[in-house]
Amino acid sequence: AQKITQTQPGMFVQEKEAVTLDCTYDTSDPSYGLFWYKQPSSGEMIFLIYQGSYDQQNATEGRYSLNFQKARKSANLVISASQLGDSAMYFCAMRGGSEKLVFGKGTKLTVNP
């Protein structure tokens, strides 16, 4: 069975600073993918970044980067230069041998001016 754990219910960051959102995972699948989604108060899930289990380099997408440590089974999201619009729920998810995404409980990020 696959499991995603996000231990930070809420995080606060000052505008323009960097923030790291934690994610650990558990799976027995040798090949898997890790995803981060953003969910604003409007409710829509917005894809941010993807990391494959065999990818040698950490994924980056603009201000988002994924700190992938396979041995520790962690896939932390780093947001650089936070903006007020980054305030939202953030979900870590994984997909292994099945089509479905398995999500964590999420972290609520608040960016303060």
Partner 1 sequence: DTGVSQDPRHKITKRGQNVTFRCDPISEHNRLYWYRQTLGQGPEFLTYFQNEAQLEKSRLLSDRFSAERPKGSFSTLEIQRTEQGDSAMYLCASSLTWDRAYEQYFGPGTRLTVT
CB 110 within 8 A of CB 88: no
91 binding partner 1? (CB under 8 A): yes
- No. of H helices and E strands in the chain? 0, 12
CB of 41 to partner 1, least distance (A): 12
68 binding partner 1? (CB under 8 A): no
* Separation between Cα atoms, residue 13 and residue 87, nearest integer Å: 9
47 binding partner 1? (CB under 8 A): yes
Q: What are the residues whose beta carbons fall under 8 Å from the beta carbon of 28, sequence distance 6 or more? A: none
CB of 111 to partner 1, least distance (A): 21
38 binding partner 1? (CB under 8 A): no
* Separation between Cα atoms, residue 32 and residue 9, nearest integer Å: 25
Which tokens go with 55?
């990818």
Listed ranges 14-22, 33-41, 68-76, 78-86: which one lies at the site for partner 1 (CB under 8 A): 33-41
100 binding partner 1? (CB under 8 A): yes
Q: Which residues contact partner 1 by CB under 8 A? A: 4, 31-33, 35, 37, 42-47, 50, 52, 91, 93, 95, 98-106
